[in-house]
Structure 1
Amino acid sequence: MNLSEMPSLLLVDDDATFRSVLSRALEKRGFAVTTADSVEQALPLASANPPEYAVLDLKMDGASGLVLVQKLHELDAATRIVVLTGYASIATAVEAIKLGATQYLSKPANADEIVAAFGHNPSTDVPLEAHPASVERLEWEHIQRILHENGDNISATARVLNMHRRTLQRKLSKRPIGL
């Protein structure tokens, strides 16, 4: 298969090593890969030749990957977009899907996971919950995750959350409804 017959893929990530390794892996899987290290560098490339597929980092220097998701979707609504991030959250995942992303993956994600994610259909795969989690429940889960990441150290967790230690202790002593 020559280059013009391969599906086009735009890879945007500010980590040069990750971008290079992932680019080679995706080329081996049959994609014609174009790379950029920022939203600002990717926009002219995408405007000149809208890609069939895109893999975007969420958090980069300059504009957020969410800006690029929206622009790519405006250029061609059929573009299959996978958003990668080391800072996964429910809010940004929902926002990415609303803006036109096909799937949202946490780093580290390998090329096979990314290629599989292109086949994801966000409009039908996940039904909306009849009773979505409350803000209190989401806050509780977030605090628990950060607490676990800090080896159950209250003081370290409070610093990460930019919260007074006593406030964190009060929040931990209360369990949200439905938990």
Structure 2
Amino acid sequence: MADIDINSLSDINSLNQADMLLVDDDVLFTEVLARAMQKRGFHVVVAHSVQEAITLTEHETPEYAVIDLKMPGESGLALVRHLHQIDNQTRIVVLTGYASIATAVEAVKLGATHYLAKPADAAQILAAFQRTEGDAEIPLASQTLSVNRMEWEHIQRVLQENEGNISATARSLNMHRRTLQRKLSKYPVKQ
């Protein structure tokens, strides 16, 4: 696949037919985002699970990938690791409706270029692909996290430490497995 220079959003026309892998279990979301990216010159391939995406990348790796974190079966983090191992030049943006500090850190450690909370539009995703460095000028949060948000973050970190194993995480947290599953099924608590 050809090398693409995405130094600025004004160079979007140079992305003509760059390959993009879009992986999300939300069919409607993938249809809308795929159309938006095709209008911007990408050749988009869609998968709705990690395993389907791995199969699609057996013969050719994409220059760009947009991966949902939480899908049935394996986590999107497994796909981030896979894509980074087969081609560390693939620019990967992880999207999630379940944003947490722990998963953001893990996604970047595994090779993601950036991490965005849903809903994210095509322009935000393209800007995320463009980012190559951190931003020291980003404003710091003016308030601390709520107790409920800290609990959510702690659960996510322990879940990552246990490689997504809910039973092991429940034991580590000294919590009943069903209580943990109920907490995980809820959307993350606001700040």
Cα RMSD (Å): 2.6
CA shift at 1:140, angstroms?
3.3
Task: Kindly indicate whether the alpha-carbon contact (under 8 Å) linking 1:6 and 1:32 is maintained by their aligned counterparts in 2.
Answer: yes
Q: Counterpart in 1 of 2:128?
A: 117
CA distance in 2, matches of 1:83, 1:93: 8
CA shift at 1:99, angstroms?
0.1
Q: Counterpart in 1 of 2:84?
A: 73
Change (3 A) 1:41 1:144: closer
Alignment of 1:85-164 (within 5 A): 85-121=96-132, 124-126=133-135, 140=147, 142-143=149-150
Deviation string for 1:89-132 (max 9, x for gaps)?
A: 000000000000000000000001001100112xx3156xxxxx
Deviates more, 1:95-104 or 1:42-51: 42-51
Runs of 4+ in 1 over 4 A off after TM superposition: 143-146
SS at match of 1:47: coil
Which consecutive unaligned segments of at least 5 residues does structure 2 have?
1-15, 137-143, 154-181, 185-191
Task: Kindly indicate whether the alpha-carbon contact (under 8 Å) linking 1:13 and 1:56 is maintained by their aligned counterparts in 2.
Answer: yes
Whether 2:34 is the aligned partner of 1:23: answer yes
CA distance in 1, matches of 2:183, 2:36: 37
Letter in structure 1 aligned against 2:95: L
CA distance in 1, matches of 2:135, 2:105: 12
What TM-score do the two structures reach when normalised by structure 1?
Answer: 0.69
Whether 2:64 is the aligned partner of 1:57: answer no
Q: Matched residue pairs, number?
A: 136
Q: Counterpart in 1 of 2:164?
A: none
Whether 2:15 is the aligned partner of 1:8: answer no
SS at match of 2:57: helix
CA distance in 1, matches of 2:26, 2:72: 10
CA distance in 2, matches of 1:109, 1:63: 22
CA shift at 1:145, angstroms?
8.8
Q: Percent identity?
A: 54
Q: Which structure would you say has the larger Rg?
A: 1
CA distance in 2, matches of 1:20, 1:114: 15
Task: Kindly indicate whether the alpha-carbon contact (under 8 Å) linking 1:47 and 1:75 is maintained by their aligned counterparts in 2.
Answer: no
Which consecutive unaligned segments of at least 5 residues does structure 1 have?
128-136, 147-159, 163-179
SS at match of 2:83: helix
What TM-score do the two structures reach when normalised by structure 2?
Answer: 0.65
Q: Counterpart in 2 of 1:132?
A: none
